[in-house]
Each structure stands twice: as C-alpha cells, then as structure tokens.
Chain A
Amino acid sequence: MEIKETIDTKGLSCPMPMMKLAKAMKGLKPGEILEMFGTDPGTRADLPQWCEKKGNTLLEETEPEPGVFRFLIQKQ
C-alpha cells in the first residue's frame, strides 16, 4: 500500500484538521492514499462521516501512540 501524502494535524482542534484533510485530498488522484495524524477527538467522529459522504474510503484507523490517531484515506 503506497502512501502518497502525509499530513500532521497533531494539537489542532476543530475545524483545522478537517480543513487540512480536505485541502490535501484535493491534490490527490483517484485511488491514491493519504495518511493523516491527529489528536482531536472530534475528528474521529467527523472523518468517517465525511468520507462516507464524499465516497472516499477510510481504510484504517489506528492509535500508534496514546492519544494520537492515524487515518489512512483512499480517494474515490
């Protein structure tokens, strides 16, 4: 699985993580994968909803270190 781009939103709160994610996704081609790190609990609720609405696929959500979430999102 090749990761095309990585964004770090650690420490940022709503709405900055989702804004940065949306901007980064615009630069990807269909099928490409973005890796995102974040610490805002609200993002864990917002991101899956947003992916579902936009048709993007949330491939993976993990917690590589306490309180830090890693998301892998594939563009539609």
Chain B
Amino acid sequence: MKGSEKKSVFKDLYNIFFTKHWPVWTGAVLAGILNVLMFGIVSPWSGSAGYSSWGKNLYKVVNILGFDETPSLLGNKWALLSIMIVLGSFIGALLSKSFAVRIPPFGELIKGFIGGSLMGIGATVGIGCSIGGFFSGVPALSGGAIFLTFGLFLGTVVAVKYLFWEMEKFPKISTGKGFTYLAVSQDRGAWQKWMGLIVSILLFFIAYTYFQADEYVLGWFIIIGGLLGLISQRSIFCIVRAFREPFMSGDSTGAKGIIAGLLVVLFGFVVIKTMNIGAGETALRAREMSFVHSNFWLRGLLGGFVFGIGMTIAGGCAVGTLWRMGEGQVKLWFSALGFLLIAPISSKFITPWLTDILPFNMQYKNYLPDYLGYAGSVGLVLVILGIWYWFAVWNEKTGKFSQF
C-alpha cells in the first residue's frame, strides 16, 4: 500500500468517527454494551456515586462536615470512571476539532449550579440518577427504578414548562454576552487533533499504571470511562434529551436511541443475573439484587421528580453533564459543582430525615422477578418501553405535546 493510499484510509476512518455526530442510537447501544461489561466486571454503571465521591473528597480536603473517612478519588471506581468520562469527551471534542471553552451569560451559570444541586438532592433521595436509577436500574429489574423513571418524566415536564415561562417572563436570564476561547475553525486547528492524540495516550498510560499495580477493576473502569465519554460526546448521548424533546421540539430520535440502548442493557443484565456471571464469591441472591435499592415507591418517585427538574434546568443529566464538561461547556461545570457539593450534604442531612418520616412500604427494596418471575418482569419493562416508544413517535407526528 502506497503512502498516499494509507493516508486516504486513515482520512476516511477519521471522517467516519469525527466529522459528524453519530446517531444517538449508536451511542446508546455502545454505552449499553459497556454498561453490561461493567456489570460483568463488578457492578452496573452509576453516575451519581462519582459526583458524591468527588464532593466528599473535597469536604475531606477542607476538613468540614465529617467526611474524613472517605476513600481517595484515585481508589474509587465511580470517581475515576466519572473523571475519565470527562477526559474521554475532551478527547472526542479535540479530535473532532470542536473543543472550546464556552462561557454563557451569568444567569445560565446560576441555572447550571441550581440544576446540579437539585440533581444532587434527587439522586440521594431517590437512590439513583439518570444512569444508576434509570439506565442501569430499570434493566436491573428494580421496582423502585420504575417509579424513579416516572418521577424523572414528571420532573422533566414541570421543568420544561418552567423554562418556557422563564424565557417569556425573564428573558434576560439567558441573554447577554457569551464568550468562547480556544475554538478552532473546521478547516484549520490541527493542534486540537494532536492534543486529542496526546490525551488519549495519557489516558491509556493512566490505565496501564493501575494494571501494573494489579488494580484490574480500576484499570478497566478507566478505559471504559474514556470510551463512554468519547461515545457520549460524539453521539450527543444524554438521557434528558430523551425525556425532554417530546415536550419541546417533538423530536423522537433521543427517546428511540435511549430505548435501543436500554434493550441492550436489559438483555445483558438478565443474562448476568440469571446465570450469575462474574459473581466471584458473591452469592446469586446478592448478584440478583445489584442496583435494586430501597427506594420503592414514593422515595424513588420523589427523587426522580427532583432529579428530573434538576437535569432539565441544567441542560444535562448525570452523564450529559460530564461529557459536556469535557467539551468545554462552562454551564455544566457549574452544574457538576452544584451536584458534587450538594449530594454529600443531602445524603448526610436530608435522606436520614426522609427515611425517618416515610413509611417502610414506601422505601423498601422491590425486585420485580420476586413477584412476576423473570419473563413477567422483562415483559413489564418491554411494555413500558413500548408505550414510551409509541408516545414519542405519535407525538412527533401529531405535535400534540411539543412546544415548537
């Protein structure tokens, strides 16, 4: 093969991955496969646990609120995974020459912080976020996750109404001068591609150091986190879009994409749970109860509702916030700040209070196969996803609930 042909092959490959965004379903299916792989290794994907770990470590450094026993970020798989999602997205943005530090008007930064704070409260109250409570929780056949999902849906509807109200009554909040730094033109800016390559090598080197120290789980989580960030950035993989768009533009591609991803995760999780794959010393029952939390039914509903409001105001769910941080969206840096500062406070002060006042039957663990069997539980999830799919497509055609 001549040199020019080789160059052409690499150029074609580059164009496939980095010239245009990928379809959402491609990203969701790939993220779903990685979620199944994570469960095979040790545990399904959690988003909020990473933010909580970041926050607790921050409070530990400044020595307040009594988080001094918190394990280090460098030894926590969720904290590392979240950092690597940011880094992976940074790589995706650099390689596609779309990285820039984008600073919105001040009001948007405040909205980012408030949205992130609400996500921190919602994730701790509901024991789960858009990832752990929904993208992992529903395929894990958790009864509480179904209610959390319904809460996410309700919270999103309320917050979409708020956003339109705000735009009509207080347009100045999202108006003003925005600033952009380090952006490059699409026909220039080769430095971003080179930088992307260097950061990719750095990410694999970090993983290598963990493998060298026999920290295989953490090593794989670093690589998976990087891939999740890259995939999410290239495909605009964001749970909030799937919930929100039917009530905004009416577009159903986000919902269809996430449903496709959920089907992959559902298939993989059920195989793992029924066959006890990757369990090691863990008993089958403990493996079955992975990501089935004590959030049935009102606790999941409440948490999901608050989280749904938060993610819609912030403009990014747990993973959407991470990958948009890597892309340089400063609003989402503020969202992450709100999430990581408030989640530990909420888990220390709000959730114990709530646990005391909620009756037991509103906060116990509920594993759907215990009541419906595996076939019945999978059938129930498929029916719910089917209704969601039908609604998104019907609404796109009729525009019944969409605003524009």
Contacts and interface: CB of A to CB of B under 8 A. Distances in A.
Contacts of A20: 167, 174
Contacts of B189: 66
B21 A11 contact: no
Nearest to A44: B21
A12 B108 contact: yes
Contacts of A18: 248-249, 404
Interface residues of A, number: 31
Interface residues of B, number: 44
A5 to B, nearest CB: 14
B288 interface: no
Interface of A: 8-16, 18-20, 22-23, 25-26, 39-42, 44-46, 49-50, 53, 63, 65-68
B251 A23 contact: no
Contacts of A26: 404
A42 B89 CA distance: 14
A49 to B, nearest CB: 7
Nearest to A10: B178
A68 B183 contact: yes
Contacts of A9: 178
Contact of A15 (B178, B183, B186, B248): B248
A65 B329 CA distance: 18
Given A63-B186, A66-B184, A15 B105 contact: no
A50 B248 CA distance: 11
Given A20-B174, A67-B183, A13 B251 contact: no
